[in-house]
Structure 1
């Protein structure tokens, strides 16, 4: 299959998990009705962004795979015949919680779960308190509609993640995100830098990129949306503003071969010279 329809769900989140589940189900249905074949929800879709503060009570937001926030999406993927990427706060064991994304195929089969590898820590992004660093590596999922890889939020800023997923065969890189205001610099928006940095992975690797972010005010933070799909030359095919909505974009995977034949980054790699990249400094 060379042509694929990508769907991104950009929305505000409520404090109540059930509200977010029902809202997401409705929006996934809408995206599928518009032709979306691979749909991605935003990071930690079932809750508000709780990492703004440090509180042991927020550990209660972690959920296992058999929680309705996950099982309802698995059933939905099967019903609609789509691939569905479901980012959530994963309860793995007592005291062990991950920032994860489960992947379900068009039959409802659980293809696997990607766990966020790079965990940030800073003002209102206190993720090291909540998330254990991922232990799933960088899986690539072979789906009916294409080979996909996932980097969760902070992962998306690291070129190494995009390159590894590309080398493992991914055609489309999905980046579910929760990014917005910077409390130390309220006058600053990172939206332009975010868009440039993430879309540039498409150029470096000859892949499509699909980044989805949340919107709205949650406690002290404002999330700027800006979800987009870009092509292997880094062109933004479609993007969203700071409003809730659904982005559905068709892509032609044949463009990947054209881009890689034009810009031979994969051919000209010098892996024998890259030892220093494994050093901390």
Structure 2
């Protein structure tokens, strides 16, 4: 099918997991009622953003696949006949936790789980303490409504991720996120840079982009929302501001071929010249000028 409806759920999160589950379920139902075929929740949907601080206690928020936060979403996908992307803090083994997103098809089948590859660390984003770097690579899921790829939050900033997912056949790139205030720079909002960087992946690769962020105040951080869908020319089709809500937008996958025929980035790639990109740095070691 060429016409697909995407649904994004942008919501505030409570300290109580059960509240977040019920709120997310209600919003998925709302999106499905508006015709959404693929619905994506925000990063770590079942909990507040606990990585603001370092605490052993927060490891208790990690959940296995048979937790109600996952099982009830799987059942909901089957009931509503939608593909559902469910980002969560995954308990994989004792002491091994991932920042993950499970994917369920319209029949409730578990198509797989993407684990976040790029793990940031900075003031109030202490993710390296909580998350093991992903080991699933960059899977693409072939669904009834198109081929989809997922990059989780920090992954979304890396052009390499978008290119790999595109080369593996993704039509739509989903980016579940949790991004907001910068404690070292309270006067700064990264929202404009976030939107531009991610929507640009659509231009470079000729794909649709769907980015969903959380919103609202959680302890010392404020999340700015701004969830959006952009087309293969990088144009923002629809977006949300700093409020809870759902975003449902119809897209036509035929636009992908038009964009790629117009801007032949994939044709003109020079893979034989890209070896240096695998190096951490190509700059010679010199005395740092302070």
Measured against the shorter chain, the TM-score band is over 0.9
| Whole-angstrom CA distance in 1 between matches of 2:22 and 2:50 | 20
- Cα deviations by residue, 1:115-168 (Å, 9 ceiling, x for unpaired): 000000000000000000000000000000000000000000000000000000
Distance in 2 (alpha carbons) for counterparts of 1:3 and 1:241 = 26
- For residues 154-186 of structure 1, what are the alpha-carbon distances to aligned partners after superposition, in whole Å with 9 as ceiling and x for unaligned? 000000000000000000000000000000000
For 1:241-267, what per-residue CA distance to the aligned partner results, in whole angstroms no more than 9, with x for missing partners? Answer: 000000000000000000000000000
3-state secondary structure, aligned to 2:71: helix
Tell me, in whole angstroms, the C-alpha distance in 1 between the residues paired with 2:256 and 2:25: 32
Q: Which residue of 1 aligns with 2:94?
A: 94
Give the TM-score of the pair, scaled to structure 2. Answer: 0.97
Q: Match of 2:175, SS?
A: strand
Deviation at 1:18, TM superposition (A): 0.2
Distance in 1, Cα, partners of 2:37 & 2:74: 14
- Give 1:42 shift: 0.1
1:99-114 matches, cutoff 5 A? 99-114=99-114
Structure 2 distance, partners of 1:239, 1:80, is 24
What is the TM-score with the length of structure 1 in the denominator?
1.00
- Establish whether residue 248 from structure 1 lines up as the match of residue 248 from structure 2: yes
The match for 2:122 is: 122
Shift of 1:16: 0.3
Write the mapping of 1:76-225 to structure 2, written as runs, cut at 5 A. 76-225=76-225
Gaps of 5+ in 1: none
- Summarize deviations over 1:42-86 as a string: whole Å, max 9, x none: 000000000000000000000000000000000000000000000
CA distance in structure 2 between the partners assigned to 1:2 and 1:31 by the alignment? 19
Query: Runs (4+) of structure 1 moved beyond 2 Å?
Result: none
Per-residue deviation at 1:208? 0.0
* Pairing 1:50–2:33 present: no
State the Cα RMSD in Å: 0.2
Deviation at 1:38, TM superposition (A): 0.1
Residue 30 in structure 1 maps to residue 30 in structure 2: yes
- Which residue number in structure 1 is paired with residue 284 of structure 2? none
* In 1: Cα distance, 2:75 partner to 2:19 partner: 18
Greater Rg over alpha carbons, structure: 2
Aligned partner of residue 192 in structure 1, secondary structure: helix
Unaligned runs of 5+ in 2: 282-290
Q: Distance in 1 between the 2:25 and 2:263 partners?
A: 40
Secondary structure in 1 aligned to 2:147? Answer: strand
1:2 CA drift (Å): 0.2
SS where residue 18 of structure 1 aligns? helix
How far is 1:87 from its partner?
Answer: 0.0
Matched, 1:20 2:37: no
Q: What CA deviation, in whole Å up to 9, does each residue of 1:214-261 have, x standing for no partner?
A: 000001000000000000000000000000000000000000000000
Give the aligned length.
281
Give the deviation of 1:4 after TM superposition.
0.2
Distance in 1 between the 2:249 and 2:181 partners? Answer: 27
SS in 2 for 1:180: coil
